[in-house]
Amino acid sequence: MSKRALVSSLLAVAAVGAITAGGIAMASSATDPTLTNGSARYVPPTGARAGTFTYTADVSDDSGIRGLNVVAWPASSELAPTEGDLRFVDTATCVRTSDETSRCTYTFKVTEKEAAEAAQGTWNVSALLTAKDGNTLYVPAAATFEMKG
Instruction: Indicate whether this model's pTM tops 0.85.
Output: no
Q: Longest Cα pair distance anywhere in the chain, in angstroms?
A: 92
Alpha-carbon dihedral 58, 61, 65, 69, rounded to 10 degrees: -60
Lowest mean pLDDT among 17-26, 31-40, 63-72, 110-119: 17-26
pLDDT digits 0-9 by tens, 52-108? 999 999 999 999 999 999 999 999 998 999 999 999 999 999 999 998 999 999 999
